[in-house]
Structure formats: structure tokens, C-alpha cells
Amino acid sequence: MDKQKILTILAHNVRQEMNAANLSSVELARRCHISTGTISKILQGKMSISVAMAMTLAEGLQIDVTQLFRHLIVEKTVDIGACEQDEQALCIGIISIRNSRLTCIKNKYGNVLGISTLSGGLDLAESSIFILNKIIESIRISLKEFPTIINNLEYILSVSSINLVTQSYEFENTRRKFKSFISKTFKQVNLMADWQISYLANFSKQNGISLITDKGVSLSYMHDNKLRKLGGWKFPVYDLGGENWLGVETIKHTIDAVEGHVPMSSLAQTVMAKFGGKIETITEYCFKGTKDPDVYCHFSAILLQAYWGQDIVAKSLIIRGFEVIQRIIDRVDKVTNVSLPITMMGSLMDIYKTFIHPSRLLESVSDEYKTELLSSLTNDDLERIGL
């Protein structure tokens, strides 16, 4: 390929990414700390760029640097069973749960090629390029036994499908922008929430209630052939009864106890001891942690420790948390006109399940099973339940 054609394709790729991000040349120049004249020459196909310049542009555009060189790399077919495009396609499922991500990758015949579990979840509150890099890392590690695929990964991903379960799924605009961004890397992209895949995995052959009690709380059930959800709107907007909510209630009780509005408890004494005996230190800790949506989970951890230690106040806070959840269960019972079986998942499962009658509880499937199922889901499967 001659030099001018390379510059023309590069200019096209940069302009396409600018349009996707709704960026002007002035704004891109500002982000990259280079002159608008340099940006202009690149867009006109009149300037070669170094590797360092490419990295700078990619950072300014918030994309993977390989996106700038689309169509410059000769695409080669790879022998992973056959040389047809659809034979090379992978089916990828990645679930973000707590602070980790589970991956399962299959070929078109449903055979598992690789699995992995890595630290660091996928939260849509983070930048798209940061999330994409985590996804690519998970895929590479899962396919470590297939160097031929890894060496041609860019092309193979372009003909592959990926089903993702992310955190902050309820951020609709962010979700839409992220899907548009990674659709440049994969042929087919489906984004799901943990409550959706949890329901599908637990109730493939019957209706039921899938209850997730973690940092937040959400309940999902099937009604009128559509999967529905109650709760799970992200703390502090909602998520009543979850870890963050319990943490805030712990702080409120501690302050009330210190200021003499309620009797001093061992729970309040423990919280104060961990923060040097000063309310100011607690509020400062929360203020500095505002960029962390789960900052209050630190306090719920103290509460849970006190609960298992038979602390009376801790027990009362947990009971209040479940009362919120019980109201949601009662609402579903009323809508469906039947007491459906319940599966429970999440960090608060062992505590909250003691409040539900054993006859309604079913054992929940494993996270590994959910990940494997995710890698097998098709668009038809999702449409069937209204997703």
C-alpha cells in the first residue's frame, strides 16, 4: 500500500472517530495538547504520524489505538476449523460481578475454547476505552491456549458476537454510547444487567422471582411474557436494603447515638473507634469517597460484623432492610396472584434468606453457569423474553 493511501485511510479513521465522539478539530487539539494546524494536516492526509502521536490521538479520542489503523492491516483468514468467516466467529460472554469479571468463549458449535476469572469489574461509569481494554484482556487470557487466534484477534473479533453483563446498566445514555463504541470492535454486541442473566439462568423452565441482594437490591420476575424488574436503580437514588443503604443507616445511627438522640450502642462505638472517635472524620471519609459509588459499603461491613455478633441495633437495621424487600416480594405476589419460588444471590443472601420461608427458596445457580449461558445466548433468546 503506497504512502498517500495510508495517510488517506488514517485521515478517514480519525475523522470518523471525531464524528462519533462529536468532537471538533479544536477540541481534539486541546485534548491532545497539539496545535490545530497539526490536526488539520492529519485530517487532510498531508502528515505522517509517529507511534507516540498515534497514542496521543487515541487518548484524546478515548479509543484503542488500533482503531486508528483500521483497514491498514491486511485481514487474513485463520484456520480454527475452516477458512470461512462464520467458522472463525467466536461467541463471547463476560459477566461483571462484584469486583471481578468472568469470561467464557465458545466457537460456533458451542464448544468452550476458554474461560477466565480476573479482578476488576466492568462499570459503565468508567471510560469506554478503559472498559474495552479490560474486555480485550479477558479475551486474550481466556484464549491463551490458541495463539493463532490471539495473533489475529482484531479480525476475529470483528466477525464475533459478545454478550456483556455490566455494572451501572441502568445508565441508559451511557449504555447506548458504550454499545456504539464497542460495536466498532465486534460484529454483534448485547448488553445485559446482572438481574437479567440471573433470572434466565435460574428460571429457564419455570417462572419465579430472582432476588439480588448486594451493594444494591433488585428483584426480577416474568409477567405477561416479559421480564420485569423492581428496584436496582443505583444508590443513592434507590437500592433500599442493599449494602450502601445499610451503610448510610449505620452512619445515621452512629451520629444519633453520639449526639444523644438514641442510646449509645456497641455498633456506634465500633464505628467511632474505627474513625478516631470523630464524626468529622466519618463525614470527611464519605465526602472524599463520593467518586466511589460504593463508599458506604465500608460501614455496612461493620454492621454485618455486629449483626453476626448478636448486636441488637445491628439486628434491627437488618430487619428494616428486609422489610423493604418483603414489600417488593408482596407486590409481585399480588401481581402474579401466586407465591412464586425465589432464588437469592449477592453478599447479603445468607442474612436475608433467613427471613424467607424455606418452602419458597430455591438454590441459585453458580456464576460460572451464568457466564457459560451468557456465551450461548442469541438475539432470538433475548427477544423471546422481551430484551
Confidence at 80, pLDDT banded by 50, 70, 90: very low
Secondary structure (3-state) at 119:
strand
Q: Can you say whether residue 98 is alpha, beta or left, with left for phi > 0 and alpha for psi between -120 and 50 degrees? A: left
Q: pLDDT tens across 341-366, in order?
A: 999 998 999 999 999 999 999 988 88
Which positions ≥6 away from 298 have C-beta within 8 Å? 247, 285
Q: What is the pTM of this model?
A: 0.69
Task: Give all domains of the chain, ordered by start, each with its CATH number.
Answer: 3-69 (1.10.260.40), 85-192+373-381 (3.30.420.40), 199-356 (3.30.420.40)
Q: Where are the beta strands (DSSP E) in the chain?
A: 90-97, 100-107, 112-119, 161-165, 188-192, 209-213, 217-223, 226-231, 342-345, 361-362
Q: Give the C-alpha separation, 218 to 239, whole Å.
A: 7
Confidence at 86, pLDDT banded by 50, 70, 90: low
Confidence at 2, pLDDT banded by 50, 70, 90: low
Q: pLDDT tens across 158-202, in order?
A: 999 999 999 888 888 999 999 999 999 999 999 998 888 999 889
Residue 75 has pLDDT above 50, yes or no: no
Q: Give the C-alpha separation, 247 to 303, whole Å.
A: 7
| Residue carrying the nine cell digits 495517510 | 7
